[in-house]
């Protein structure tokens, strides 16, 4: 790592002063050491192709099954952080393979809703569009959100393993929260950096094209399968735990109030900010195909699914398995 980049990281850490919702306890030296190792790992067998759109990369020449070297894993983490999300094509994974790979990125999140966890592998969440899906559970992810932002320790990375993909539709949309913050006037940046946001499960005011499913709207038998969590607080602007870049955090379905502002005023500001950061100039999309693993950085983006038809007909089905991770990749 160059001295110039290292110096910028020290400056970023000092400016943010621990306002990362996950890594505030890390020392500057720890961060520098971790990032230096990733930057030094150059794996020449990667084939990296920039995806269409504003950000994202396809990384070919990597086989997850059977395990990866530490250097390869570091390279993938580095590419994910740099590009906000990556796609690894050509994967054939058992559930054990997938979970073992995911665990090297962090500690798996066990979803608060029990209904779509895999019994044999509770780290994995089944996401599909079966025609038998009850109407109140359809397109529940078609709102902007950040995984586990309603918890005290948030998700760092999320990955999807594609099994089936429809001929039309099924894209995931991403919004770049760092670019949105960078585009603001300095006075607005300073104002937002001082704000702390309250989060709770599905508590945000939805945009006109969003559907946010709350625990209260579920049938009684479904409510019993959803753990009710207490509200938490996260900074509106945080420093990326690996790069130090400042960005908005968690402007999705969980943010509902701002400390120190009247409730209605805070909710409206959060809604306005969500509308701002999801403008087309900050947004891209990607469609997960069978045999692909998509991994994104929850400190850089918010995301949403596009509404999809629910069907069991060939060519219209969508199925993937999601795993979200918390904490630091142990080998990074």
- As a whole number, mean pLDDT of residues 136-158 equals 85
What is the number of helices (H) and of strands (E) in the chain? 8, 16
pLDDT greater than 80 at residue 84: yes
Is residue 52 situated within a structural domain? yes
Looking at residue 216, its pLDDT comes to 56
Q: Between 29 and 81, name the one with better pLDDT.
A: 81
- As a whole number, mean pLDDT of residues 59-73 equals 93
Helix (H, G, I), strand (E, B), or coil: what is residue 63? coil
pLDDT greater than 50 at residue 38: no
Residues 132, 168, 83: CA angle, nearest 5 degrees: 105
Looking at residue 14, its pLDDT comes to 34
Is residue 79 situated within a structural domain? yes
pLDDT greater than 60 at residue 309: yes
Confidence of residue 139 (pLDDT cuts 50, 70, 90): low
Confidence of residue 175 (pLDDT cuts 50, 70, 90): very high
Is residue 11 situated within a structural domain? yes
Highest mean pLDDT among 15-29, 103-117, 130-144: 103-117
Beta bridge partner(s), residue 87: 58, 294
Q: How many domains does the chain have?
A: 1
CATH number at residue 146: 3.60.130.10
Is residue 332 situated within a structural domain? no
- As a whole number, mean pLDDT of residues 321-331 equals 90
Is residue 112 situated within a structural domain? yes
Task: Please report, for residues 38, 63, 122, 157, 254, the alpha-carbon distance to residue 147 in angstroms, rounded to integers and kept in the order given.
Answer: 24, 26, 16, 9, 9
Q: Between 44 and 298, name the one with better pLDDT.
A: 298
pLDDT cut 90: percent of the chain above it: 56
What range defines the domain where residue 141 resides?
3-326
pLDDT cut 70: percent of the chain above it: 79
Q: Can you list the positions of beta strands (E) in 263-316?
A: 283-287, 293-297, 301-305
pTM listed for this prediction: 0.84
Q: Between 130 and 102, name the one with better pLDDT.
A: 102
**Mean pLDDT across the chain:** 83
Task: Please report, for residues 7, 22, 110, 223, 247, the alpha-carbon distance to residue 151 in angstroms, rounded to integers and kept in the order given.
Answer: 32, 11, 12, 18, 19
Is residue 331 situated within a structural domain? no
Beta bridge partner(s), residue 161: 293, 321
Confidence of residue 179 (pLDDT cuts 50, 70, 90): very high
Helix (H, G, I), strand (E, B), or coil: what is residue 8? helix
Is residue 140 situated within a structural domain? yes
Is residue 123 situated within a structural domain? yes
pLDDT tens string 195-236: 999 998 877 777 787 766 655 555 555 555 555 678 899 999
Looking at residue 3, its pLDDT comes to 32
Looking at residue 237, its pLDDT comes to 98
pLDDT greater than 60 at residue 136: yes
């Amino acid at each position: 790592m160059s001295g110039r980049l290292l110096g910028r990281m020290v400056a970023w850490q000092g400016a943010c002063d621990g306002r990362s919702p996950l890594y505030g306890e890390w020392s500057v030296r720890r961060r520098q050491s971790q990032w230096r190792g990733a930057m030094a790992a150059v794996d020449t067998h990667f084939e990296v192709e920039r995806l269409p759109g504003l950000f994202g990369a396809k990384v070919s020449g990597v086989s997850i099954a059977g395990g990866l070297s530490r250097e390869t894993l570091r390279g993938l983490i580095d590419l994910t952080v740099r590009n906000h999300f990556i796609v690894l094509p050509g994967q054939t994974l058992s559930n054990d393979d997938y979970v073992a790979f995911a665990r090297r990125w962090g500690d798996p999140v066990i979803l608060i809703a029990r209904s779509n966890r895999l019994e044999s592998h509770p780290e994995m969440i089944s996401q599909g569009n079966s025609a038998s899906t009850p109407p109140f559970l359809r397109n529940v992810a078609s709102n902007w959100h950040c995984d586990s932002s309603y918890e005290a320790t948030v998700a760092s990375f999320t990955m999807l393993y594609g099994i089936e993909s429809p001929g039309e539709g099924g894209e995931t949309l991403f919004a770049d929260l760092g670019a949105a913050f960078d585009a603001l006037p300095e006075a607005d940046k300073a104002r937002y950096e001082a704000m702390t946001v309250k989060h709770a499960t599905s508590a945000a005011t939805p945009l006109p094209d969003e559907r946010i499913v709350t625990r209260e709207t579920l049938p009684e038998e479904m409510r019993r399968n959803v753990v009710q969590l207490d509200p938490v607080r996260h900074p509106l602007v945080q420093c990326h735990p690996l790069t130090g870049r400042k960005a908005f955090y968690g402007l999705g379905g969980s943010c509902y109030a701002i400390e120190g502002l009247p409730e209605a005023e805070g909710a409206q500001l959060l809604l306005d900010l969500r509308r701002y950061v999801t403008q087309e100039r900050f947004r891209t999309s990607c469609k997960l195909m069978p045999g692909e693993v998509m991994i994104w950085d929850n400190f850089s983006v918010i995301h949403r699914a596009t509404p999809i038809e629910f069907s069991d007909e060939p060519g219209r089905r969508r199925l993937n398995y999601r795993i979200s991770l918390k904490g630091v990749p142990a080998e990074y």
